[in-house]
Amino acid sequence: MTDTVSHVPRRTIPFAQEAGGALAIAALGAVGYFLFPDDLAFLTRLIGISFLVLSLDLVTGFCGIATLGHAAQFGVAAYAAGIACVRGVTDPLALLGIGIFAGTLMGLISGALIARFRGLPQLVLSIAVGQLVAALANKLQWLTGGSDGLSGISPGKVFGIYNFDMYSRTAYLFSLAVLIVVFVALTRFVRSPFGLMCRAIKDDDLRAKMIGVAVYPRLVIMYGVSGAVAGVGGALTAMSTGVVGLDSVAFERSAEVLVMLVLGGAGHLWGALAGTVIFMIFEHIVAAANPFHWMTLVGVLLIGIVVFAPRGLIEPVLSLFARFRKGRAS
Amino acid sequence: MTNLLEARNVSLAFGGLKVTNDVSFKLAAGDRVALIGPNGAGKTTLVNLITGDLAPTAGHFFMGDDDITSVSIPERVQRGLVRTFQTTRLFANLTVADNVALAVMQRKGISKRFFSSSTELPEVRAEWREILGNLGLDRLAYRKVIELAYGQQRLIELAIGLALRPKVLLLDEPAAGVPHDEAPKILDAINALPADIAVLMIEHDMDLVFKFAKRVLVLSAGRLIFEGSPKDVTADHEVRRAYLGSYADARRVD
């Protein structure tokens, strides 16, 4: 019984957790920037995808919604930003705003449909929504470029100063800065009353109703927030790569980010980030070493993770932390 | 005196089977009512009807003068109609403090905030600490619910109910599964409720019923067959036949 007291969160410096998160990402980002200057384009793409995984974590990890259509939010935002850029809006921050807006809208629409259901119907519906968006992106050739993709996206200077250069330095640093801002905001958001209530809904939605919570509107709002985060990733990816293809709304993208989330640990923001980093770097290295059988190796990695750390890689790390803290307290 | 809750000729039928059959009763401010009846009499079904989890096939529920029959579950809770569950339904992966704090925040209308921290907000913390303290759960505040013994979870079920500051509180077997030495805590907590709320308790433990209730409703096969004082319930012929049977001899009430 005495050990229970050690679980009391100690009074800490305000915003310590947020500052810690920001510094950790900045430090990791600096490592990437200085040690791998030739891989910045890849690392920028990694950051873009990490927004989508964080976004998926919000609905799957925190609300328990099963979805295999989450790339829709990312892709719609990428297309929106790309189309706006091709048609003359070149300010990166404005394009980011357009991406966030489109992602939010797509999130709210998807959420309004998907959050009505539970279990398998929900999963099937999420796939349907994703496929619908993918089909539209293909058919609306005059707008999206169809299967050729949308190219010629050349955004202007960031803050009117930094040009998007061919070494992706600007794109990388810009993406990293946005990631830090979004991550800090999300760290606060998931601990807010709204975020906590979402985790409660995941545990038992009837109980949530019985304390007076209107569950459905909350899930739709969460989907909107999730869409905004995915939208950030979509817009950044469109700007940094200069093209938007059908792959950004494809089913494979949705499935892949779910795998990254499970790998890292759903329900934890750090889990989402860790999953993205590990999966994409693993894929990058293995695909370069063995272009024909790399998917096999990814499969083996996944089986290993599911067998030995079914709740994601972050879980053993967290329990190690907890044990360390308990040891120090006693 | 106005009725906080009234059931008027409520029925629920599955096909030809009437699980709830023309039930009418009233709960006024200050009422302490026990709902008893043999297993399968439809007690929990009646609670599910009151809370809106099930929709009646006939009849109406009123809170005050408002017909709430078609009002949604969350809206009924916001109007002060609160229940606890017979088998605990808690937010199992959250801490005890979070479970109670969420109820507090929901009641205060601050559960939609996006950016403030939650459970440790001073006005929220003061309240859940008091509630948990009264139930002797304060030491467990930062434990996950899933790690606790069933008896302790029963108490949290009650703590959430209290945190919502109900006008009408429906307790579905609050003492079931609670270890004997902790059971008095439940009765203490119920006795400490504000005098002006109405409490309806489903309970099998007749000792608890007689200690708590000023009035007893007996449900048998979906029908209310008795309404009266606890003293009269054991004497009533129909109740003895339908429900007490052998109990009537085993437990005499003085």
* A262-297 tens-digit pLDDT: 999 999 999 999 999 999 999 899 888 888 888 888
**How many Cβ atoms are within 10 Å of A145's Cβ, its own excluded?**
22
Q: What is the pLDDT of residue B254?
A: 47
A-B Cβ pairs (cutoff 8 Å, strict): 105
Q: What's the pLDDT band for A1 if we cut at 50, 70, 90?
A: very low
Q: Choose the closest CB to A211 out of B103, B117, B143.
A: B103
Q: Taking the model in full, what pTM does it have?
A: 0.90
Rounded to the nearest angstrom, the minimum Cα separation between B129 and chain A is: 13
A192·B92 Cβ contact <8 A: no
Query: Does some domain include residue B159?
Result: no
A4·B142 Cβ contact <8 A: yes
E strand residue ranges, chain B: 3-14, 17-28, 32-36, 58-63, 66-67, 81-83, 168-172, 198-202, 215-220, 223-228
- Measured between beta carbons, the chain B residues lying within 8 angstroms of A199 are 91, 93-94
A134: tokens are 């993918």
* CA distance between the termini of chain B: 31
pLDDT tens track for B239-254 = 877 765 555 455 544 4
- Structural domain of residue B236, as residue ranges? 3-90+166-250
Q: What's the burial of A305, exposed, middle or buried (CB within 10 Å: 0-12/13-18/19+)?
A: buried
Query: Does some domain include residue B151?
Result: no
B216: tokens are 């007893």
Q: Choose the closest CB to A211 out of B114, B140, B164.
A: B164
pLDDT tens track for B173-185 = 988 888 888 788 8
Q: What is the pLDDT of residue A6?
A: 40
Q: Which of A118-122, A252-256, A313-317 has the lowest mean pLDDT?
A: A313-317
Q: What's the burial of B164, exposed, middle or buried (CB within 10 Å: 0-12/13-18/19+)?
A: buried
On whether any CB of chain B is under 8 Å from the CB of A326, the answer is no
pLDDT tens track for B157-212 = 999 999 999 999 999 998 888 888 878 888 888 888 889 999 999 988 888 888 89
How many independent structural domains does chain B possess? 1
Q: Choose the closest CB to B140 out of A4, A185, A193.
A: A4
- Rounded to 5°, the CA angle A50-A239-A133 comes to 70
A203·B83 Cβ contact <8 A: no
Asked if residues B93 and A203 have their Cβ atoms less than 8 Å apart, the reply is yes
The residues facing B170 across adjacent strands are B83, B200
Q: What is the pLDDT of residue B21?
A: 93
pLDDT tens track for A56-85 = 999 999 999 989 999 999 999 999 999 999
Asked if residues A228 and A107 have their Cβ atoms less than 8 Å apart, the reply is yes
Q: What distance in Å separates the CA atoms of residue B135 and residue B132, rounded to the nearest whole number? A: 5
Q: What is the pLDDT of residue B200?
A: 96
What is the average pLDDT across B215-235? 89
Query: Does some domain include residue B65?
Result: yes
On whether any CB of chain B is under 8 Å from the CB of A204, the answer is yes
Q: Does residue B233 carry a pLDDT above 80?
A: yes
Q: What is the pLDDT of residue B159?
A: 94
Q: Pseudo-torsion of CA B236, B237, B239, B240, nearest 10°?
A: 110
With CA atoms as reference, the chain B residue closest to A7 would be B142
Read off the CATH number of the domain in which B29 is found: 3.40.50.300
Q: What is the pLDDT of residue A301?
A: 82
Query: Does some domain include residue B197?
Result: yes
